[in-house]
Amino acid sequence: MKSLEPDICVIGAGSAGLSIAAGASQMGAQTVLIEKAEMGGDCLNYGCVPSKSLLVAGRAAQAWRHTAAFGIDTPEPSVDFARVHAHVRDVIDGIAPLDSEERFTGLGVEVIRDAALFEDERTVVANGARIRAKRFVVATGSRASVPPIEGLEQISYLTNETVFSLTERPEHLIVIGGGPIGSELGQAFRHLGARVSLIEMGSILQNDDPELVEVVRRRLTRDGVELHEQAKVLRVGAAGNGVAATVERDGQEERIEGSHLLLAAGRQPTVEGLGLEAAGVVYDRRGIKTDARLRTTNKRVYAAGDVASGPQFTHMAGHHAGIVIKNALFRLPAKVENRAVPWVTYTEPELAHVGMTEAMARKAGERINILRWDFHENDRARAERQTDGFCKAVVTPKGKILGASIVGPQAGELIQPWVLAIANGLKVSAMAQVIAPYPTLGEVSKRAAGSFYTPKLFSERTKKIVRLLLRLP
């Protein structure tokens, strides 16, 4: 068996693992990268990239349906789903070379295409090689959760790993799970002409502010997505050439029949089959236990990305990569920063958030002011006829920004100034004093921030001061 003794061995070639391997190698560390499946991991092959590519195709079709508001009459769009699939594949294929084995080999990384198994606390074996590295990083990501639903093992179903392989549009897609993945894909398939039934045990997008979620809920309903909230799936089974789900809601059972079933009921970290017990690495159903520096219970082993018991976002995987590099290579005590982590649900309209929600702030006992500005008061949004939604900021009475949420067009882009403000401890005055170009959607953030000063600015006290000053020669 071949023996390798690199400076760092990375297990998993997803977002976190690739960033760590590339950075380490380019900084002079001998690096081994082990991947048993697709280079690029979930994000490139089954997650962010294909899902957003499908979403934009759906938005193009939906925009075609609503041109009459601009004085342009068009027929119902004809969706060639095989070409939609080709579009998704083309986007993936365009990005894939950046994540490829050839690129990383060119960077000086030794890439091993096999499953990794810890033999002991400092040894991993893979594809006939025994690797004894100074530092290991487990970056194996996560996969779709499969809930314990009666009859599920008897039928075919889709997850995010298989849904993008469809070359024919589902006639009627049943989606189990109303989180970001289920809501995004449900709306995308509806925009592309499929009938969609979305089933959620609680309320859709439960981690977001209910006030903003309501805007998304109204749009989903208006688009024709059939929402079944507060509905428990009792069982599933075959129905002719398709599938059926029996749900219980308000004590009543209902049978929903469709052509395809998509599971979007959350994700679970990939920790099985790694021999983590032999390595002395503690984990549970939420992932690998780490400290703020991403060190596991084995001082030689770090964990990064979805597997590291934290927010499961690609941008957090990138943040983790930087933390691991600083700790493992430079011995700097860098720590994960969770205070200003944004998240975005790419429905139409988009829903973006950073920091504390109103409910979180009240639960924490904070004294808060709530600032709002609606898109229907934004001239650019009116010109583009995208006036659904608003910006909502949570601040203290002294103007410290605790959190912000935006639901509306391009919310994922518009949230970024709030991320910067929270990360750098800026007060709401910084946002209010920005000179925003006109007309832009970004003005909603400036206007929301400026509303913090409205009560004092137009108060009777201010009027008295102005009148007094005007009397002076």
pLDDT band for position 99 (50/70/90)? Answer: very high
Quick one: pLDDT band at residue 473, thresholds 50, 70, 90?
confident
Query: CATH code at 377?
Result: 3.30.390.30
Q: Is residue 284 part of a domain?
A: yes
What is the CATH classification number for the domain harbouring 63?
A: 3.50.50.60
Contacts with 321 (C-beta within 8 Å, 6 or more apart), sequence order: 15, 16, 19, 20, 23, 304
Q: Evaluate whether residue 52 is within a structural domain.
A: yes
What pLDDT does 457 receive? Answer: 79
Decide if 337 is inside a domain: no
Same domain flag for 439 and 421: yes
Whether 14 and 126 map to the same domain: the answer is yes
* 203 in the same domain as 89: no
Residues in CB range of 379: below 8 A, 6 or more apart: 438, 439, 443
* Binding site residue list for FAD: 52, 140-142, 306
- pLDDT at position 309: 84
- What letters, b where the CB count within 10 A reaches 16 and e where it falls short, cover 200-233? bbeebbeebbebbbebbbebbeebebbbbeebeb
Considering 266, 284, 311, which residue would you say is the last residue of a domain? 266
Q: Which amino acid is at 235?
A: R
In a domain, 469, yes or no: no
pLDDT band with cut points at 50, 70 and 90 for residue 136: very high
Q: Which residues contact 86 (CB under 8 A, 6 or more apart)?
A: none
Shared-domain flag, residues 259 and 275:
no
Domain identity same for 10 and 94: yes
Residue 273 lies in a domain: yes
Percent residues over pLDDT 70 in the chain: 100
Do 356 and 409 fall into the same domain? yes
For residue 15, the SS3 value is helix
The answer to whether residue 356 sits within a structural domain is: yes
What pLDDT was estimated at residue 365? 96
Omega of the bond leading into 439 within 30 degrees of 0 (cis): yes
* Residues annotated within a binding site for NAD(+): 177-184, 200, 266
Q: Is residue 342 part of a domain?
A: no
Question: Are residues 187 and 288 both part of a single domain?
Answer: no
Residues 228 and 273 in one domain: no
Residue 335 included in any domain: no
Task: Decide which of 243, 266, 289 is a domain's last residue.
Answer: 266
* For the chain, counts of helices (H) and of strands (E): 17, 25
Please check whether residues 294 and 258 belong to one and the same domain.
no
- The dihedral through the CA atoms of 290, 295, 301, 302 has a sign that is positive
Average pLDDT over every residue of 356-373: 97
Among candidate residues 282, 297, 328, the one where a domain is terminated: 328
Tens digits of residue pLDDT in 51-87: 999 999 999 999 999 999 999 999 999 999 999 999 9
Which of 218, 221, 174 has the alpha carbon at shortest distance from 198?
174
Q: In the predicted model, is pLDDT for residue 293 greater than 90?
A: yes
Pair (252, 282) in one structural domain: no
Annotated binding site: 52, 140-142, 177-184, 200, 266, 306
Range of the domain at 183: 152-266
Q: Write out pLDDT tens, residues 451-469.
A: 999 988 788 888 888 888 8
Residues 261 and 283 in one domain: no
Residue pair 3/130 in contact by the 8 Å Cβ criterion? yes
Same domain, 131 and 273: yes
Q: Do residues 370 and 361 make contact, with C-beta atoms less than 8 angstroms apart?
A: no
Domain count, the chain: 3
